[in-house]
Structure formats: structure tokens, C-alpha cells
Amino acid sequence: MAMDAISVIRTKRDRGELSDAQIDWVIDAYTRGEVADYQMAALNMAILLNGMNRREIARWTAAMIASGERMEFSALSRPTADKHSTGGVGDKITLPLAPLVAACGAAVPQLSGRGLGHTGGTLDKLESIPGWRALLSNEEMLHVLDTTGAVICAAGDGLAPADKKLYALRDVTGTVEAIPLIASSIMSKKIAEGTGSLVLDVKVGSGAFMKTIEDARELASTMVGLGTDHGVKTVALLTDMSTPLGLTAGNALEVRESVEVLAGGGPADVVELTVALAREMLDAAGVKDADPAKALADGSAMDVWRRMIAAQGGDPDAQLPTARERHVVTAPSSGVLTRLDAYDIGVAAWRLGAGRARKEDPVQAGAGIEMHAKPGDTVTAGQPLLTLHTDTPERFEYALESVDGSYDIAPTGTDFKATPVVLERIA
């Protein structure tokens, strides 16, 4: 059947359902350049405004998977489990999680991305380790996975190339927020990656892409449905991102904190979420009788981390970069810290050089923010609250504009109830 972009756009503009044939054609034609960017932008906007049903989203995802290659790990001696986070501030969980799950008996093929705006990127963090490489061939990825049990690397160009084009277009046309497009973007890459099971960490709150529990629940349910429809056992946790995770936001700073977790220490919220996600991944992969908390305590997760970093060219014993300049923000009054806003802290870290405004921008390995207190902690006037790190001190003033409104201190004795790290589970 002959197809044209205008008729596909009109169908969704007029709140109709796209047929399987229309979806297959438009994704293929856009990938090949037959459909122009401005035409796909119009279709994306129609999808943002009018939505898609489950069948449409599943077919859209399948068409993006079909645009490229699919990996598979049947030759491995252990089952595979992957994790995807929708992104946040201080979200370093992948770093301790991948070696932890591998130490417990599953293989973790973790394809990760880079930070953009106020959200951090796993690859940027790991690239602060001297020598570590994000870009691996499929053969190298399989070798690292087979020999260490875990690999964290960038997705190759052959994996869902339609998504790469669509993502770049959505980013500049105001259609990033469309839940069908978010879900299909994430799941097309994860399904094409070939993992046997998948755990989704869907963030909720000021520092997350989904600001409300309702939107996060809708996105999580859509992605769990997509995974199920494509034969991948999928579960989602909705987790809090109103406050940054851990006590650091920034690349090398977060690597140091992750190593602390692997050494049996680290902030309680990072440990709690790492262990919770590890248990979900192991259960989804069918690995029984493994205790992630024990693997953190006995050093086996740290052993996998060291082997994984070395297998990708990194030196696990190397000194991590530190920023040349620091600025300390002190508490203006005594009392209870009741709010530390994830979005504001993320923006400040970005402005210090830890993040980027455009995908091609460089990042500073040592830039970021240390947090010396979290909501619920008692603080004293004049004590350090935050330490800002950067190589370029002229950035301090701009970052402080975001920091200034990022926290609240209530009088001593104020009743404070902390938000749970894990809010809901969707399966």
C-alpha cells in the first residue's frame, strides 16, 4: 500500500489510531530520510497532544527495534538482567549496582548514556576514571560481560538507529514529554540490547523528568507493558527524586561515593536503593538464594567492580580528578533541614561544569556539589551545608543563584517525615 507522511500526520492529528502499516512505514521512511524532520516533528506533536494506545506504542517500539540490529546473549553461562533509570540528580546507582548483581550470579549488560542539563550521565561519571572506555565493539562488550559478569558502555550506532534520530528531533521540537515516545525510546534500545529481564527505576519529583506520581505511574506501566509484549520480564520501581541521591552530584565525586558503597559504606539512601534494585534484578533473572547486602559487605561486589573497570581500560586504583576551586555554602541559621531540592542542586552542579547544555559540550570531571546534610538533619548556623567544586571559579556566581533557593531550614524541634526512597512497585 502506498503511504505518505501527510496522511499519517492527519490520522493522528484527528485523534485516529495509526495502523501497523502506517507505523512501520513512517519509522522506516524517516530513518532512511524519505520523511523530513519537519514532517516527523508534526507527527510527534500530534502524538504528544493526542496520545497512543498500547497497540500503537508496541508497534512503534517494534518498528524502531527493526530499524537496526539486535544483540543476544544466549552463549553466556548465566541469565541477563539490566536496569534503566529515567535520570536524576546524584543518581550514581548503576555504578555499584552492576557489579553487585554480577557478584550475585546474573550477567549485567548495561548500556548507559551521558548527562544533559541538570541530570547526570553514567558514562560521564565513569570517564572520570583514568583510561576507562565507554565505546566498545559488540565483541568487546561480550568479552567483558563473559569474563567479569558486568559491562557498562555506550550503545552502538547499530542499535535502534531510528530512536537516535527521533530523540534528537524531540529534544529541539518540544515533544520530549510525550509518554508514548519516552516509553518507546527507552524500551526499543533495551529490547534490542537483548537482555532477558529488565528493572526500571522511574524517578518522581522535582529533579526527575516525571514530576508527579501519576505521570510516573503511567510511564512505568507503559514500559512494563512494552517489555512484557516483547518477551522481556519487566518490573518498575517508582523512586523519589525530590531530594538528590546520596551526598554528591558530579562525575568524579559520584564515583568516589559509589566506591564507598562497594566498600560496605556510603550514604544510606544509595545503599537502600542499590540493594532494592539488585533484589528485583536477581528475582527477574531467576537467580535465587543470593543476598546483595552480603555481597556488598564481603567485598565480592568490589572485586567485580575492579575487574570490570580494568577490562574497559580503566585503572581502579588511579587517583580521581579533583576540581581546582571550591566554595563553601554555610547554614544561615540553626534548625532542621526540611528541604534540599534535587532540581536546584542539579542545575547548580551543571552550571559548575558537571553537566552540559548540548550533547557535544565537554564536562569537567571534578566539578559538582558535596552535600553535608540531608533533609531531617539538624544543622547549626555557620556549619558547611554545601561545597561547590569547579575548575572555573567564574561559574560560582551563576551556580549560587540556583543554590540560594534550594533548601529550607525550620526551627529546631520541627517534626519532619522523610519521603521513602522506593514509592511503588509496578509489575
What single letter denotes the amino acid at residue 409? I
Least confident span in 77-86, 102-111, 168-177, 187-196: 168-177
Q: Please, which pLDDT band fits residue 114 given cuts at 50, 70 and 90?
A: confident
Are 178 and 48 contacting, i.e. CB atoms less than 8 angstroms apart? yes
Q: Among candidates 65, 20, 26, 21, which has minimal Cα distance to 46?
A: 26
74 is known as an active-site residue:
no
189 is an active site residue: yes
Look at residue 18 and tell me whether its pLDDT is greater than 90.
Answer: yes
Catalytic annotation present for 258: no
pLDDT at residue 167 tops 90: no
- Reply yes or no on whether 211 is catalytic: no
Residue 15, all three cell numbers: 485523534
What residues have CB less than 8 Å from 171, skipping those under 6 apart? none
Helix-then-strand count for the chain, H and E: 16, 13
In this prediction, residue 12 carries a pLDDT of 98
Which are the contacts of 26, defined by CB distance < 8 A and separation ≥ 6? Answer: 3, 5, 8, 18, 35, 40, 43
Model pTM score = 0.93
Lowest mean pLDDT among 161-170, 248-257, 385-394: 161-170
Is residue 21 scored above 80 in pLDDT? yes
Active site residue 84: yes
> Catalytic: which of 67, 112, 128, 185?
185
pLDDT of residue 374: 97
pLDDT (tens digit per residue) in 338-354: 999 999 999 999 999 99
Per the residue annotation, which of 12, 118, 164, 189 is the catalytic one? 189
Q: Which whole-number Å values give the CA distances from 419 to 5, 206, 241, 407, in the listed order?
A: 47, 13, 10, 16
**Per residue in 377-427, pLDDT tens?**
999 999 999 999 999 999 999 999 999 999 999 999 999 999 999 999 999
88, 207 contact by CB (below 8 A): yes
Structural domains in the chain, CATH included, are: 5-51 (1.20.970.10), 82-159+166-311 (3.40.1030.10), 325-410 (3.90.1170.30)
Q: How far is CA 277 from CA 26, 51, 158, 252, 290, in A?
A: 37, 30, 28, 23, 13
Question: Helix, strand or coil for residue 27?
Answer: helix
Residue holding cell 522506516?
28
Does residue 2 have a pLDDT over 90?
no
Residues of the chain with pLDDT > 70, as a percent, come to 100
The answer, yes or no, to whether residue 53 has pLDDT greater than 70, is yes
In the predicted model, what is the mean pLDDT of residues 79-88?
Answer: 95
For residue 34, which phi and psi values (nearest 5 degrees)?
-75, -35
- pLDDT for position 75: 87
The C-alpha atoms of residue 418 and residue 209 are separated, in whole angstroms, by 21
| Catalytic-role residue among 82, 91, 163, 341 | 163
Average confidence score pLDDT of the chain: 95
**Confidence category of residue 332, pLDDT binned at 50, 70, 90:** very high
Work out the average pLDDT over 321-328.
Answer: 98
Q: Is the confidence at residue 256, as pLDDT, over 90?
A: yes
CB atoms within 10 A of CB 55: 14
pLDDT of residue 1: 61
pLDDT of residue 157: 82
Alpha-carbon distances of 18 from 52, 164, 186, 413, rounded to whole Å: 8, 22, 21, 58
What's the confidence (pLDDT) of residue 176?
A: 83
Residue % of the chain over a pLDDT of 90: 89
Closest CA to 186 of 88, 283, 276, 83: 83
User: Catalytic residue among 114, 118, 125, 170, which?
Assistant: 170
Angstrom distance (rounded) from CA 219 to CA 202? 8
Residues 6+ apart with CB under 8 A from 283: none
Q: Which pLDDT does position 74 carry in this prediction?
A: 86
